[in-house]
Amino acid sequence: MSNFIVMQNATHEEEISGGYMWSPQKDKSGNRNHAYERMATIKAGNKIYSCYDKAIRAVGIATSDCYMAEQPHELQEKNLWSDEGYKVDVEYTILEHPITIRDIWGEMESDRPKKYSAFQKNGRGNQAYLFPCPEAWASLFDSFLNVDSLEAEAEAEEKQKQKQKQKQKQKQKQKQN
């Protein structure tokens, strides 16, 4: 299972309350961007650490694989990106006690990736949307959380969705008979 860090400074309210992540496929100049293209690698079950205001403030579990989607209406109002994009459905849990990167940077710094790191050498966030999260960082972040409850919530939601799909199939069969 992969872990990611999403920098949601401009979109955290919309994405967290809406239960999704969305990025354009290309920047406004029409260029590809590693942080946007990385969206296509997200699979259901991946863990997402949401960073905004210099802290990990929510943790999510992807409940869908990435798929192509138009920009959500609430993001269109910001007029920041083109409409063609990538979307992932996410079940977020807002942290009661955010994890301030500055406070734990000393523990994170030695595991900082040389390429595509979410954070600069000084611990400040890089300006891009989505980054891989090193296992050491995920373990550190998780040490501040009750991770078992997050995974249990995601499993329970998935089971509920499967039950709803089964009920819909049964109703369709009954209508056909």
What per-residue confidence (pLDDT) applies to 96?
Answer: 87
For residue 64, what are the CA distances in angstroms to 49, 69, 71, 140? 16, 13, 17, 25
pTM of the entire structure?
A: 0.76
User: How far apart, in whole angstroms, are the C-alpha atoms of residue 82 and residue 87?
Assistant: 14
What per-residue confidence (pLDDT) applies to 112?
Answer: 83
User: How far apart, in whole angstroms, are the C-alpha atoms of residue 131 and residue 116?
Assistant: 6
Q: Tell me: the pLDDT tens digits for 93-120?
A: 999 889 989 898 888 888 888 888 878 8
Pairing of the two strands 3-7 and 47-52: parallel
Q: Tell me: the pLDDT tens digits for 124-172?
A: 887 777 899 999 999 999 988 865 545 555 565 666 677 777 777 777 7
| pLDDT higher than threshold 80 for residue 19 | yes
| Structural domains in the chain plus CATH codes | 3-176 (3.10.590.10)
Q: Tell me: the pLDDT tens digits for 34-89?
A: 888 899 999 999 999 999 889 999 999 999 999 998 887 777 676 666 678 899 99
What per-residue confidence (pLDDT) applies to 151?
Answer: 56
What per-residue confidence (pLDDT) applies to 78?
Answer: 60
